[in-house]
A = this chain, B = another copy of it.
């Protein structure tokens, strides 16, 4: 019955377009202010078609949330793959989450996070997904640390323990930068995070300007 016909390909492309559009819309307007009609308009289709593919508004938006966050982590993994040194890797991760300049690559991610949290808080399904997503994130951090230990770049430390604290710290700091708290400027957040990393993992670190501004 199933040879991958062009039709199926078209369908997959459509789904992806819709998910991407939905994610962008959510980031812009917020979860509950994103309408089926908006998504349809963005992909140049009728609202009915969106319903045809996703059945219900909620399924569409929830899937879009997952889709976007997953994309975020995937991109992060790629960036890591092309960076060998621990310190540079951590700098990359921190810059990626705290410095708004890096927003372009996965636009509006922060807005999505807030909505993801709010949804997860009340909907068990979303909650479960979010836990997995966050586990990926911590695993990534822990892997960076373990690689560094294996390569004798830093002393032996509990990578898992560090990942929990560091991930939490990054979340907290990026909330402030995303919400443009004047006291926690992006650069300051960057330094706070790196200082924590350097003292926890025991490598020397001094701020060498992170951006030319």
The interface of chain A, by Cβ under 8 A from chain B, is: 29-33, 110-111, 114-115, 117-118, 120-122, 127, 130-131, 134-135, 138, 161, 164-165, 167-173, 175-176, 178-184, 188-189, 192, 196, 199
Contacts and interface: CB of A to CB of B under 8 A. Distances in A.
A122 B114 CA distance: 11
A164 to B, nearest CB: 6
A110 B114 contact: no
Given A117-B179, A168-B192, 9 more contacts: A30-B118, A117-B117, A117-B175, A127-B179, A131-B179, A138-B183, A164-B192, A168-B173, A171-B175
Contacts of A183: 131, 134-135, 138, 164
17 contacts: A30-B122, A32-B33, A110-B121, A111-B122, A114-B114, A114-B118, A114-B121, A120-B179, A121-B178, A131-B179, A134-B183, A164-B183, A164-B188, A168-B169, A168-B171, A169-B169, A171-B175
A118 B118 contact: yes
Indicate the member of A127, A167, A171, A172 with the most B CB atoms within 10 Å: A172
